Amino acid sequence: MADTFGSQIDKTSRVPLYKQVKEFLVRYITEQTGTDMIPPELEISRQFKISRATVRLAILELVNEGVLERVPGKGTFVRLAQDHLVFTNWLATEEYSAAALAELLSRFAADRRGVDIENVGIPYLQTEHQLMLMTSAGKAPDLAALIYLWIPIFAHQGALLPLDELYTPEIRDNLYPQTLDAVTFGEHFYGFNWVNAPSILYSNRRLLEEYCGGISCGVEYFADMEEILARIRENSGGRILPFSIPVQDDEKFFLFSIYNFLHAFEGGVLNNRGEVIFNSGENIQAFAWLKEFIRKGRIELSRSHLENRQLFADNKLAYIIEGPWLEGIIPTLNHSYREGMGDTEFSVLPKGPNGVSGSVLWNHTLGMFRQCQNRELALELIRYLTEEPSAGELYYSMTRMLPVRLDELSRNPVYDDPFGRVLRRQMETAFPIPFADSPFFMLSITFCAKAAREILLGDASIPSTLNTYAELLKELYKR
């Protein structure tokens, strides 16, 4: 800054001195190519022969207007054009994951001056509906955390952008193959897997020791659980629930619980060709076996998944099938677990009659909406969350969900603790639910759950009930 700049301040003018300094600084920023920092306050005040307080007032106005930004210990910089990204997710609303997500986004933004990530939390049960409303109103987010089963809903509407460019041959070879099927709609990938999240079996060691004489918490087959469950109910005088299927919640009831049993008999809702198989002989066998399993094990069928979580946290439920996030949720429900989960054991799901420990895949996925205003930044955030080793380590330590890269899982000792080893074993047989590129799959779950309730809670005929609802599903999928 040359001394001659001092002549640009007219102390006889009616324009306040700080306004003149402010105008000068704006010209200085514009004319000095490559300038990202202005001179110190003291230097400006000396050159203009005015008080430092006057200079500070001018600078503060430019800071408030977003032209400049102060960095403590470094100086005052020209504020870069803001790169803004709206990221919607349910994780910001959950106590177990909110801090981890905030830290990840803070680290991402800190390494990129001028980047602003708007972290918008939407409760899980409202996410699908709220995103539908936002999309219809032209106010979709740039990026969203999704469950892969929602992908066909938004992809069918043309609301999502394909992410094929992220799936290089190197990346595709570095992922569990089944996770690719989960995000494919038509001929494109409309989501990128963020974390691996299979369901596993959690056991309360304290209850099993007290009411079953300290038997091993893990069981190889579901059939092996029948006697254990009955003993817990009997020896506790009914005070302890051995196992509970959350019949009140369509999604959690059918997808988390019932679908595992259908899969064990090679049944389901749709086959890979998109044909309705809900009334198949395999499903009839599965429901007949499940009814007997519930009767012999004296299994509870009247509660929601939220009630089951609370019961397990309160040491009133012996077994629960849940995703890896339960490790983080339990301490929020019972503070006695804040120091550790010593009374909880975990294992892969027991095998079904087909001899396979199959688990519904419940991966968290990142999707980019077509209305995204900053596509390159969104892609950069996806790559950071899914490929940066330190991001995966932090998220696993705080939420207990595994990163998606196979090389990271195999070589990083962080994921070789007992919990990580169980998750990795379960991922070997975890499977995505076929939705056959249909936007109506999640709607069909309400029909399937209603049919399952009629069968399991009453005396409805299994074949006729499945036939009735299979016809409804066929009409739905004709649309």
Q: 119-177: per-residue pLDDT in tens?
A: 999 999 999 999 999 998 888 999 999 999 999 999 998 999 999 999 999 999 999 99
Lowest mean pLDDT among 162-171, 206-215, 408-417, 445-454: 206-215
Topology annotation, domain 83-198+362-427: D-Maltodextrin-Binding Protein; domain 2 (3.40.190)
Residue 33: the pLDDT is 55
Contact call for residues 369 and 142 (beta carbons, < 8 A): yes
What percentage of the chain's residues is helix, strand, coil (to nearest 5)? Answer: 50, 15, 35
Residue 150: the pLDDT is 93
CATH, domain 200-360+440-477, list 3.40.50.460, 3.40.50.2300, 3.40.190.10, 3.40.50.1780: 3.40.190.10
Considering all CA atoms of the chain, what is the largest pairwise distance in Å, rounded to the nearest integer?
A: 97
Angle at 145 between CA 340 and CA 129, to 5 degrees: 110
Residue 2: the pLDDT is 45
Q: How does residue 248 score in pLDDT terms, banded at 50, 70 and 90?
A: confident
Lowest mean pLDDT among 66-80, 99-113, 130-144, 177-191: 66-80
Residue 5: the pLDDT is 54
Topology annotation, domain 3-78: Arc Repressor Mutant, subunit A (1.10.10)
Length of the chain: 479
In angstroms, the CA 398 to CA 393 distance is 9
- What does the domain layout of the chain look like in residue ranges? 3-78, 83-198+362-427, 200-360+440-477
Average pLDDT value over all residues in the chain? 90
Residue 113: the pLDDT is 76
* pLDDT of 26 strictly over 50: yes
Contact call for residues 443 and 428 (beta carbons, < 8 A): no
The two domains 3-78 and 200-360+440-477 share their CATH topology (first three levels equal):
no
Residue 112: the pLDDT is 85
* pLDDT of 3 strictly over 60: no
In angstroms, the CA 115 to CA 118 distance is 10
Q: 285-327: per-residue pLDDT in tens?
A: 999 999 999 999 999 998 999 999 999 999 999 999 999 999 9
For residue 350, the 8-state DSSP code is P
Tell me the average pLDDT across 188-216. Answer: 90
Tell me the average pLDDT across 24-37. Answer: 76
In sequence order, the 6+-apart residues with CB closer than 8 A to the CB of 88 are 120, 121, 122, 127, 130, 131, 134, 141, 143, 144, 145
In sequence order, the 6+-apart residues with CB closer than 8 A to the CB of 150 are 127, 128, 131, 442
CA-CA-CA-CA dihedral for 351, 346, 92, 339, to nearest 10? 170
* pLDDT of 421 strictly over 50: yes
* pLDDT of 4 strictly over 60: no
Residue of 291, 202, 308, 284 whose CA lies nearest to 462: 284
Question: pTM of the predicted model, to two decimals?
Answer: 0.81
What does each C-alpha distance from 263 to 206, 271, 450 come to in angstroms? 31, 11, 18
